[in-house]
A and B are shown apart, each in its own frame.
Chain A
């Protein structure tokens, strides 16, 4: 009995150092954020408890719904592009023999991941500059006139998503490639002998076997999709108008431009709830739970 107590004590002692940091700077802020969201914040007159009024305000406010829609739009395009490009690159590299060109391509595709968000945003803002951008010029050759994509309410979000996909898909490529290479070679050979073509090998042998890594990447990509802020701020600053004002940017502005901390915290809590519902239901539906345990 005494040893059992000691065992429990020892086990929890090992997680205590991390646990303290986690409690103060991860778990507590999430709960505290929800608490702040119940107040109308006023540093001069003192804050007033308003219950769920901040949330009710959002539900009747177009700017909130717009930011929610823009967040979804960005996330969907960004997640799709990133995962699709990464899988495509990984498969090309996988079927290509190991030589210098492949090592070079692997590095080149991975490299953008090491740049920080401000750098990639500045580069792509310049590439898509409405007057002198390199890509704007190329597109104007085909279209006849220069498309001003970053100034367009329709294209601002997709362009930011493209820039973000260029930035992050290399890391996913590396993860997928490592996963593909850990698939036993004789499985692929056996399928080939049975007469399967490359397409069938990809769908029936390779992809099912890299499912854990695929889901892990999907979760990470979903998180970055819903919390993207830096690239939006630098490339369009939410514009034109509010056409690219994602929820994270709206949250930031509520808090540090309008100093309405209660509403900003409410926006944060909504984002937390969305993330939890999405990732948890995603995990349940496609079954990452089994892989984690």
Chain B
């Protein structure tokens, strides 16, 4: 009896939670006159691709996808190469000033870099990097949260694992590459997912740094479309749907991995 009650509650919540997404998809394929009705209708008498054609005719959505993908992938790869050795050093190597530097990193982790858009704008401008992919990648890979998350994992690896390698005369670099990196692959994958999603979603700084339509990422492009059409919801929902489609496909394929990864990044001790 109690179990059935649970089932009903859970099902109810899940349906409520997914309604906005279903409504977006429904609207995207309805002909405009059937979108603006009172009461709203879930099942339209006909469905259409007019919004899709309208959209790809006027906006380089495919280009925005490529931009978003390049920025997110570059951020992920560079971030991992930078944070693995740094996290290892903070977790395992003893050197003067280590703890104080770690605490400074932690403090900057708490002040999100999006509040720095004005100074970053000047810096990128003088480096001639505005309107390039790299201008969004650079501040993303400088986030200390990536070092922090990996370090939390490394600290919890038992030291004994490295002892025998040390006795065999392995250097720290060898230990990092041959022992630490292989056992921390799940953590590295989790960090990769975290950074990828972060970069894929980044809005504030991209809005400032990427001003040419050709250079827009998906979030900035959607903002531009909204600015141009305002309440043409068929078109806007089609744009939102297209922006979401790859995410839906990737999620259906890798659901377990993504959710494990995301939950791990919160599993600090």
Q: Given the complex of chains A and B, what is the CA–CA distance between A9 and B220 in angstroms?
A: 43
Q: Given the complex of chains A and B, what is the CA–CA distance between A30 and B110 in angstroms?
A: 12
Q: Given the complex of chains A and B, what is the CA–CA distance between A146 and B226 in angstroms?
A: 24
Contact of B14 among A12, A108, A182 (CB under 8 A): A108
Q: A166, B20: Cβ atoms under 8 Å?
A: yes
Contact of A132 among B35, B83, B115 (CB under 8 A): B35
Q: Given the complex of chains A and B, what is the CA–CA distance between A183 and B169 in angstroms?
A: 39
Q: Which of A60-68, A72-80, A222-230 contacts B (4 or more CB under 8 A)?
A: A222-230
Q: B263, A178: Cβ atoms under 8 Å?
A: yes
Task: Identify which of A230, A256, A265 gathers the most chain B CB atoms within 10 Å of its CB.
Answer: A230
Q: A30, B20: Cβ atoms under 8 Å?
A: no
Does any Cβ of B come within 8 Å of A190's Cβ?
Answer: no
Q: A126, B118: Cβ atoms under 8 Å?
A: no
Closest chain A residue to B106, Cβ basis? A292
Q: B263, A112: Cβ atoms under 8 Å?
A: no
Chain A window 103-116, contacts with chain B (Cβ cutoff 8 Å), 1 for yes, 0 for no: 01111111111111
Q: Given the complex of chains A and B, what is the CA–CA distance between A25 and B142 in angstroms?
A: 6
Does any Cβ of A come within 8 Å of B182's Cβ?
Answer: no
Q: Given the complex of chains A and B, what is the CA–CA distance between A223 and B268 in angstroms?
A: 18
Does any Cβ of A come within 8 Å of B107's Cβ?
Answer: yes
Does any Cβ of A come within 8 Å of B240's Cβ?
Answer: yes
Q: For chain A, what secondary structure do more than half of its interface residues adopt (helix, strand, loop), or is it mixed?
A: helix
Q: A126, B142: Cβ atoms under 8 Å?
A: no
Contact of A29 among B81, B123, B197 (CB under 8 A): B123
Chain B window 75-108, contacts with chain A (Cβ cutoff 8 Å), 1 for yes, 0 for no: 0000001110110111001111110010011111
Does any Cβ of A come within 8 Å of B158's Cβ?
Answer: no
Q: A227, B118: Cβ atoms under 8 Å?
A: no
Q: B266, A124: Cβ atoms under 8 Å?
A: no
Q: Given the complex of chains A and B, what is the CA–CA distance between A89 and B17 in angstroms?
A: 11
Chain A residues whose C-beta falls within 8 Å of the C-beta of B143 in the assembled complex: 26
Q: A265, B118: Cβ atoms under 8 Å?
A: yes
Chain A residues whose C-beta falls within 8 Å of the C-beta of B113 in the assembled complex: 25-26, 29
Q: Given the complex of chains A and B, what is the CA–CA distance between A272 and B118 in angstroms?
A: 13
Contact of B112 among A21, A227, A233, A261 (CB under 8 A): A227
**Least Cβ distance of A54 to chain B in Å?**
12
**Least Cβ distance of A283 to chain B in Å?**
8
Q: B95, A11: Cβ atoms under 8 Å?
A: yes
Chain A residues whose C-beta falls within 8 Å of the C-beta of B237 in the assembled complex: 122-123, 126
Does any Cβ of A come within 8 Å of B144's Cβ?
Answer: yes
Number of interface residues of B (CB under 8 A): 98
Given contacts A25-B120, A107-B259, A134-B23, whether A12 and B111 have CB atoms under 8 Å apart is: no
Number of interface residues of A (CB under 8 A): 96
**Least Cβ distance of A161 to chain B in Å?**
15
The residues in A between 13 and 35 inclusive whose CB is less than 8 angstroms from any CB of B are 14-15, 17-19, 21-22, 24-30, 32-33
Closest chain A residue to B107, Cβ basis? A276
Q: A109, B93: Cβ atoms under 8 Å?
A: no
Chain B window 109-147, contacts with chain A (Cβ cutoff 8 Å), 1 for yes, 0 for no: 011111111111111000000000000001101111001
Task: Identify which of B98, B255, B263 gathers the most chain A CB atoms within 10 Å of its CB.
Answer: B263
Q: Given the complex of chains A and B, what is the CA–CA distance between A58 and B240 in angstroms?
A: 37
The residues in A between 84 and 116 inclusive whose CB is less than 8 angstroms from any CB of B are 89, 92-93, 95-97, 101-102, 104-116
Q: B139, A119: Cβ atoms under 8 Å?
A: no
Q: Which of B4-12, B45-53, B54-62, B160-168 contacts A (4 or more CB under 8 A)?
A: B4-12
Chain A residues whose C-beta falls within 8 Å of the C-beta of B115 in the assembled complex: 33, 227, 248, 251, 268, 271-272, 275
Q: A18, B86: Cβ atoms under 8 Å?
A: yes
Does any Cβ of B come within 8 Å of A129's Cβ?
Answer: yes
Contact of B111 among A18, A171, A272 (CB under 8 A): A272
Does any Cβ of A come within 8 Å of B18's Cβ?
Answer: yes
Task: Identify which of A26, A217, A261 gathers the most chain B CB atoms within 10 Å of its CB.
Answer: A26
Q: Given the complex of chains A and B, what is the CA–CA distance between A126 and B207 in angstroms?
A: 22
**Least Cβ distance of B5 to chain A in Å?**
10
Does any Cβ of A come within 8 Å of B236's Cβ?
Answer: yes
Q: A110, B259: Cβ atoms under 8 Å?
A: yes
Does any Cβ of A come within 8 Å of B69's Cβ?
Answer: no
Q: A251, B21: Cβ atoms under 8 Å?
A: no
**Least Cβ distance of A94 to chain B in Å?**
11
> Can you identify 17 A-B contacts, CB atoms within 8 angstroms?
A10-B93, A11-B89, A14-B89, A25-B113, A26-B116, A26-B144, A28-B119, A95-B6, A101-B10, A117-B219, A118-B220, A118-B222, A123-B237, A268-B116, A275-B110, A279-B110, A280-B107
- Which A positions have Cβ atoms within 8 angstroms of B? 7-12, 14-15, 17-19, 21-22, 24-30, 32-33, 36, 89, 92-93, 95-97, 101-102, 104-119, 122-124, 126-127, 129, 131-134, 137, 166, 170-172, 174-175, 177-179, 182, 212-213, 216-217, 219, 223, 227, 229-230, 233-234, 248, 251-252, 255-256, 261, 264-265, 268, 271-272, 275-276, 279-280, 291-292
